[in-house]
Amino acid sequence: MYETAITLERVTKRYAGHTAVRSLDLTIPRGGIFGLLGPNGAGKSTTIRMIMNMLVADEGRITLFGGEPASRDLSARIGYLPEERGLYKKMQVLEQLIFLGETKGLPRRRARELSGQWLARLGLSDWAARRVEDLSKGMQQKVQFIGALLHEPELVVLDEPFSGLDPVNSQVMKDVVVEMARQGRTVLFSTHIMEQAEKMCDRVAIIARGEKLVDGRLADVKRADGDRHVALAFHRNREAAARVLGDRSLVARTDDYGASAEVTLAPQASGDALLEALLGAGVGISRFELVEPSLQSIFIAKVGADAATAPALEESRA
């Protein structure tokens, strides 16, 4: 049995005007959930398409399943949900799933059997004979999700799987993903929604502008940045608190949520100094705690607030 599901070595992909992915190294071990995080246009979809061998890297090497060069011959072992969802609109849901299963090498009968089970599990049994175009967007997304998993792949690659889903459906799909990881399969998914990644991922990599910024176990990533973060809540004199938090010698960054805030300490400052300053200014403090940073704050600190909101120029072209 192999140890690493996916390895990228110094992979570079250029498009006519720019470099989408720059000398990217990535190791994704077998089993567990790996989150590929990054703002829009970071090169996530390009990376995933290269892993799927849909795009060919200009430089570097990509291997799967412990050393096999990425190729379409491996497609039967991989389940893929592209960022751009698409189904045959005029086809019946069940027929569609059977067809998708067949393209992954499943015998027709087996594909029919599994499709029925999955439709029942995701509550779509009543829709099996309906045309895809009659389904709501969320339901279509679930159908396509089933299509990617039908052949019980050992590696599942999901590009923004939760975007556009309501909380209930999002929960259902999350449960499926977690269960797959528990069965020993490898899940790679990309997202720019940090809360989701924080709850699900064993490992994460953050990329921006085609380059890797952070990579590792989620716990390690958080610890590397630990003891520099303070969770705060105030009940009095918030204006004074804002003045103290604006002091750049104490505080590097603030995520202000109104009644509470998450603060990143400035390099030379300590938690004690900040607490003193706040008390001295007469702020009424109801919470002061040194915490592990949220993925969101790490992400924003690493990527920079400007990049997080940059337009999705690259991905629409990729």
Binding of another protein at residue 147 (CB under 8 A)?
A: yes
Least Å from the CB of residue 247 to another protein: 49
For 137-146, letters b (16+ CB in 10 Å) and e give ebbbbbbbbb
Encoded tokens for 149: 């998993």
**Rounded CA separation 24/11 (Å):** 5
**Residue 158 gets which letter from DSSP?**
E
Least Å from the CB of residue 272 to another protein: 54
CA neighbor of 6 nearest in space, from 55, 74, 84: 74
Least Å from the CB of residue 75 to another protein: 5
Binding of another protein at residue 311 (CB under 8 A)?
A: no
**Rounded CA separation 136/138 (Å):** 5
Amino acid identity at 21: V
Nearer Cβ to another protein (65/80) = 80
For 154-183, letters b (16+ CB in 10 Å) and e give bbbbbbbbbeebeeebbebbbebbeebbee
- Give the range of 87-95, 112-120, 245-253, 280-288 binding another protein by CB under 8 A: 87-95
Q: What are phi and psi of 30, to 5 degrees?
A: -70, 140
Binding of another protein at residue 293 (CB under 8 A)?
A: no
Residues 50-79 that bind another protein (CB under 8 A): 52, 54-56, 72, 75, 78
Encoded tokens for 59: 């430089």
Residue 140 and residue 133 in contact, taking contact as beta carbons nearer than 8 Å: no
- Kindly tell me which residue out of 20, 87, 204, 261 binds another protein, with binding defined by CB under 8 A: 87
Residue 31 and residue 199 in contact, taking contact as beta carbons nearer than 8 Å: no
- Kindly tell me which residue out of 17, 90, 272, 306 binds another protein, with binding defined by CB under 8 A: 90
Nearer Cβ to another protein (82/271) = 82
**Rounded CA separation 77/93 (Å):** 23
Binding of another protein at residue 219 (CB under 8 A)?
A: no
- Kindly tell me which residue out of 17, 86, 258, 267 binds another protein, with binding defined by CB under 8 A: 86
Least Å from the CB of residue 2 to another protein: 21
- Kindly tell me which residue out of 84, 239, 272, 306 binds another protein, with binding defined by CB under 8 A: 84
Q: 216: left (phi > 0), else alpha (psi -120 to 50), else beta?
A: left
Total number of residues that touch another protein (CB under 8 A): 28
Give the SS3 label for residue 62: strand
Residues 96-125 that bind another protein (CB under 8 A): 99-100, 102-105
Query: Residue holding tokens 């109801």?
Result: 286
Least Å from the CB of residue 313 to another protein: 13
**Rounded CA separation 97/133 (Å):** 14
Binding of another protein at residue 190 (CB under 8 A)?
A: no
Binding of another protein at residue 12 (CB under 8 A)?
A: no
Gyration radius from the chain CA atoms: 23
Q: Convert residues 167-186 into a mask of x (bound to another protein by CB under 8 A) and - (unbound).
A: --------------------
Least Å from the CB of residue 53 to another protein: 9
Q: Convert residues 191-210 into a mask of x (bound to another protein by CB under 8 A) and - (unbound).
A: --------------------
Rule CB under 8 A: which residues touch another protein?
A: 49, 52, 54-56, 72, 75, 78, 80, 82, 84-91, 99-100, 102-105, 144, 147-148, 316
